[in-house]
Structure 1
Amino acid sequence: MNDDQPTGNPWVKSLLVWGGIFLALLMVVSMFGSRGDVGQAIRYSDFRAKVAEGTVAEVQVGQDRIVGKYKNGDSFSTVPIPNDTSLPQLLQEHDVSYAGRAPEEPNLLLYILVQALPFILILGIAFFALRQVQKGGGSGAMGFGKSKAKMLTERSGRVTFDDVAGIDEAREELQEIVEFLRDPGRFSKLGGQIPKGALLVGSPGTGKTLLARAIAGEAGVPFFTISGSDFVEMFVGVGASRVRDMFEQAKKNAPCIVFIDEIDAVGRHRGHGLGNSNDEREQTLNQLLVEMDGFEANEGIIIIAATNRPDVLDPALLRPGRFDRQVVVPVPDIEGREKILAVHMKKVPLAPDVIPRVIARGTPGFSGADLANLVNEAALLAARRNKRLVAMQEFEDAKDKVMMGAERRSMVMTEEEKKMTAYHEAGHAIVSVNEPASDPIHKATIIPRGRALGMVMRLPERDSYSYHRDKMLANLSVAMGGRVAEEIIFGHDKVSSGASSDIQYATGLARNMVTKWGMSDKLGPLQYEEQQEGYLGMGGSNRTMASDETNKLIDSEIRLLVDTAHKRATEILQTQSEKLEQLARALLEYETLTGDEIKQLMETGELDRPEEPRGPARTNPVNGSSIPKAGKRFSGGPAPQGA
């Protein structure tokens, strides 16, 4: 074992020290409190009997104690009865040598020690507790002003830039900081100065914290990590004290890197609070601004911060000299998703049919965290199915679970509810197929998933970075397709609440088109709503910047867009009523259809696929794959009675 490593708990060591002090005090008390060798204590009646027997040699008689010795040399002591005048005569009759015993003087030191011992113990315990609190990182009353920053030392599980994929531009910008720390002369000889700070900006799960860990693994310099919320306390001035303490620690270890996660917790705009309610946060921010770039320069300290809310940060925090670089960490494109999948798949035994490119193509909009979760879910599914390798089927099932939620096959639905759900989802699918600007259908199902009774999942063919008007109008029509199908098949009075989420989506999309994106001919390309923070910066809402008459016009334009989409969906479904019947009956038969199967059914009116197993699926004992039942052809014919 390494001799430099601590060999015990510091709490145990402190307790042993104080226990030793306590025992030493007891020894001192016992030493000063000793009254000499007084021998065995006996009763006074026994003492008189011993004298009468002639076994007592000599005694010393005092007012409160008689001490003596037997003829065999043993000592004894007893407490006399007051005013016993017969004792001297008894001693003389039996030839016992006796003398008087002077009263003992009180020991002043003993008295002081005995009286002070409880207070010494109380003070010792209090000092011990406060000392431990101060050592514990400032969690108690004596350590409020101590920084909670922790130095990251990853001896195992070290993360490097090789573990970061899909965000090449962000990685390159941060690699330059690492290179500067390794070889500052290469840049300084041309007049370049080391950046003082870098702000990582991106959606949740895109890899901001992972990038910071990679910098820690690559730089080879001390790396302190802290959360923005660790600065803010209920007492004014504590946050500023913690900022000062953090930079003092960093100066002692310069050159070093300080990583502040979720900096928006302390770096929000100043002046948004009411009265003095935000003094603590603003004082903390002011101290952070001064420490980063104030009167005294902090050479060799690089601040790296991460946030997904750059819009709420104070402008003084974002200026050059504090955060010289704002590194955007975006959601990865298809190339990035493929690289991220390759990183996470290294730890998973894959079957030969797994193609990361295909999975990446079917996961648009997934962040790095989403893809890591996808690989993990696929591995869990394979383990649940007792497979040795994770196959493509597990990845497809995991993707459906992540996108649409877990299947709720235990949920019991009546035949009427299943029929309505089938026509509802068929309505969405038919409108989507007939809208050229709509994304292709990935899968349609009437199996309850998550909070939905059924779902039509559409996926774009490629990554898109802008949202066009024709696609928005197509999405509005697709959203109305389920409600329109219910109206056509079951009638106005039998329309269900299943379209509530569709209506909510359509209303929100239409409102954004009118108030934010300038897609109303009557209102023109103006913004009528803006995002604002809620009370004291908590939450957020949309604030309308328009007069009452303009608000009425906004409402009428939103209504016009949704009504137009409703009419468009009605026209499509009325002209495609036969295909609506076919698709609904196919969903009732198979419960889940892929996009290719829906396309085949729309083009040929028939569908060839293995029969969906009813009950537990049979598995191949060799490789664990499912064995389909005999193939079955679905042919669209006359609609069943009552459909």
Structure 2
Amino acid sequence: MVKHLFFGFIPALLIFLGSSGYNISPLLFLFLIVAIGTILFSDKKGSIPGLFRDGKNRTHAVVKTNIKFEDIGGQERAKNELKEALDFLIYHDKIEKYGIRPLKGILLFGPPGTGKTLMAKAAADYTDSVFVAASGSEFVEMYVGVGAQRIRDLFAEAKELAKRNNKNSAIIFIDEIDVIGAKRDGNHLREYDQTLNQLLTEMDGIKEDDRPKILVIAATNRKDLLDSALLRPGRFDRHITVDLPDKHARKKILEIHTKSKPLANDVDLNQLSIETYGFSGAQLESVANEAAIYALRENEPMITAKHFANAIDKVLMGEQTDRKATKEEKRRVAIHELGHAIVAEKVKPGSVSQVALKPRGQALGYVRHNPSDDHYLYTRESIEKQIMIALGGAVAEEIFYGERSTGSKNDFDQVLNLIQHMIEAGLTSLGIVNTNYVSKDKIVEETNEILDLLLTKTKELLQEHKTVIEEALDFLEKEEVLSGEEFRQMIAKISKNK
């Protein structure tokens, strides 16, 4: 603060005195001496003189990260692949016998929250390296050349820090590398190109006999955006996918994040791993944390299954809101959600985890589904079942009210996206086609045919189970939450009495 005042106020004062006719030469000489001394003193306090020339040391440099691969749940394939690459850094004498060129860069790519940064930190611990981290956005400024200078300073800092701490290697981690490493198509700002060019130059300058050794690890959610010069061998030699965890990995992640938490006997981590299908590692950590917060709010000594259910809902849809629907709106929402739930139970038995009539985020109600297994391939039949589940809410409204409401908009968006996916995958009567070479009229006609067929099937199914909606409606309006097990018992009881 004092420094900013000094460099702002003194020049203004000198200009004022000079314009008033005073001889400011002695004062100007004194100011220059003080300014030079201040800059030199500031440089000595930083890790490297001149690092990030705006005076802000934006990198995060640590000598020991204290994060091990064992601390990261799941991702066994990615961890093993990364360890193999890191062994080249550790056993450099051994690999020289085989004439293997050491790796210069490793690219970690995958969805957000899957643990790419954690894996980079664990890599530093595994190789006993200095860890220097920066984000791609930190290299972007309006002034040309600043980003390139920061890249040079980043590599200089890593080398200096490793030497100072007697380390044989340093890992430079660049998160969000797509910010500075995007494809050069002539439309980018010159500053972006200069920064990328400097990064390529620094990586080319990494030699086999360098001491300390430098390894660059970068992370991105969008590998497809990166420039081919970055991705070629000799720059980022290894590309490692860090994907969303499967059921087994989700259980391991939950075990890590609940290890220090008091869990009640009704908490089943295996069941939670099923209910959290599609969750990233970061979301699973949030589920464990939010469940503990719910238990704290209620002054409960243990975290129960109910707390975890609320936590999953919160992570998926947001916190409960204070919006109060009218009695008629609440009834319509209940019918809508029960429509989804009945279709889901009929086409995928056991898939409903909970039907809720509590506003969360933008939704007035919701059905939480409970997939039995992780799926990576889908047939036409399985996609049609998803479409029927999405249509169930609107069809239930039509059966009871004779018309739909705007509450079905998101459902219809999902339906149209699924049909589009079917067409692009060659799962419709159009066959294997490129949608760019098919007329819009044909696509619209095919979409309408699929919709009409599935709307009819959904309507027949719900008409057959109309009494289930009527039976569950009063219970749901009163209790606001209907568990999957209670719902299935209700369906079985009504079907038995028919």
**What is the TM-score of this pair, normalised by structure 1?**
0.67
Amino acid at match of 2:100: G
Q: For the Cα contact (< 8 Å) 2:343–2:388, is it kept in 1?
A: yes
Amino acid at match of 2:463: Q
1:216 aligns with 2:124: yes
Shift of 1:181: 3.4
1:357 aligns with 2:246: no
1:259 aligns with 2:196: no
Spell out, residue by residue over 1:434-476, the C-alpha distance to the aligned partner (whole angstroms, 9 max, x if none).
Answer: 225x771111122222211111221210111122211211121
Q: In 1, distance between residues paired with 2:201 and 2:209?
A: 10
Q: In 2, distance between residues paired with 1:269 and 1:506?
A: 34
1:293 aligns with 2:236: no
Shift of 1:258: 1.1
> Which structure carries more helix by proportion?
2
Shift of 1:362: 1.7
Partner of residue 413, structure 2: 504
Amino acid at match of 1:337: R
Q: In 1, distance between residues paired with 2:452 and 2:54?
A: 60
Spell out, residue by residue over 1:81-129, the C-alpha distance to the aligned partner (whole angstroms, 9 max, x if none).
Answer: xxxxxxxxxxxxxxxxxxxxxxxxxxxxxxxxx9644223432444355
Spell out, residue by residue over 1:389-419, the C-alpha distance to the aligned partner (whole angstroms, 9 max, x if none).
Answer: 22333222212322343333x4322221122
Q: In 1, distance between residues paired with 2:207 and 2:96?
A: 20
Q: In 2, distance between residues paired with 1:451 and 1:115?
A: 66
Partner of residue 73, structure 1: none
The alpha-carbon distance between structure 1 residues 137 and 415, as it changes in their structure 2 partners (threshold 3 A), is same
The alpha-carbon distance between structure 1 residues 578 and 351, as it changes in their structure 2 partners (threshold 3 A), is closer
Partner of residue 467, structure 2: 578
1:342 aligns with 2:255: yes
Shift of 1:499: 1.1
Identical amino acids, percent of aligned pairs: 39
Shift of 1:343: 1.2
Q: In 1, distance between residues paired with 2:156 and 2:50?
A: 20
Amino acid at match of 2:267: V
Shift of 1:207: 0.2
Matches within 5 A, 1:190-209: 190-209=98-117
Shift of 1:585: 2.9
SS at match of 1:224: strand
Partner of residue 291, structure 2: 378
**What is the TM-score of this pair, normalised by structure 2?**
0.86
Q: For the Cα contact (< 8 Å) 1:198–1:323, is it kept in 2?
A: yes
Matches within 5 A, 1:222-621: 222-252=130-160, 253=162, 255-273=169-187, 277-293=188-204, 299=210, 300-408=213-321, 410-436=322-348, 440-492=351-403, 495-514=404-423, 516-522=424-430, 524-528=431-435, 545-546=436-437, 550-605=439-494
Q: In 2, distance between residues paired with 1:142 and 1:207?
A: 27
Partner of residue 77, structure 2: 169
How many residues of Structure 1 are paired with residues of Structure 2 in the alignment? 473
Shift of 1:344: 1.1
Q: In 1, distance between residues paired with 2:317 and 2:25?
A: 72
1:151 aligns with 2:61: yes
Shift of 1:387: 2.1
Q: In 2, distance between residues paired with 1:345 and 1:420?
A: 39
The alpha-carbon distance between structure 1 residues 452 and 227, as it changes in their structure 2 partners (threshold 3 A), is same
Q: In 2, distance between residues paired with 1:290 and 1:572?
A: 64
Shift of 1:365: 1.1
Q: Flag the structure with more relative contact order, 1 or 2, with Cα contacts below 8 A and sequence separation at least 6.
A: 2
Spell out, residue by residue over 1:324-378, the C-alpha distance to the aligned partner (whole angstroms, 9 max, x if none).
Answer: 1111111111111111111111232233443322221221111110110011001
Q: In 2, distance between residues paired with 1:598 and 1:361?
A: 19
| 5+ residue gaps, structure 2 | 7-22, 163-167
Q: In 2, distance between residues paired with 1:127 and 1:401?
A: 55
Give the structure with higher Rg (CA).
1
| 5+ residue gaps, structure 1 | 1-8, 16-113, 529-544, 607-634, 638-643
Q: For the Cα contact (< 8 Å) 2:128–2:169, is it kept in 1?
A: no
Q: In 2, distance between residues paired with 1:240 and 1:446?
A: 54
Q: In 2, distance between residues paired with 1:361 and 1:304?
A: 32
Partner of residue 18, structure 2: none
Spell out, residue by residue over 1:192-222, the C-alpha distance to the aligned partner (whole angstroms, 9 max, x if none).
Answer: 3322211111110000001111122232222
Amino acid at match of 1:282: D
The alpha-carbon distance between structure 1 residues 272 and 591, as it changes in their structure 2 partners (threshold 3 A), is farther
The alpha-carbon distance between structure 1 residues 483 and 374, as it changes in their structure 2 partners (threshold 3 A), is same
Q: For the Cα contact (< 8 Å) 1:228–1:264, is it kept in 2?
A: yes
Q: For the Cα contact (< 8 Å) 2:120–2:173, is it kept in 1?
A: yes
The alpha-carbon distance between structure 1 residues 452 and 636, as it changes in their structure 2 partners (threshold 3 A), is farther
Greater shift, 580-589 or 504-513, is seen at: 580-589
Over aligned residue pairs, what C-alpha RMSD do you find? 3.2
Q: For the Cα contact (< 8 Å) 2:51–2:157, is it kept in 1?
A: no
Q: In 2, distance between residues paired with 1:339 and 1:160?
A: 15
Q: For the Cα contact (< 8 Å) 1:257–1:303, is it kept in 2?
A: yes
Amino acid at match of 2:408: A
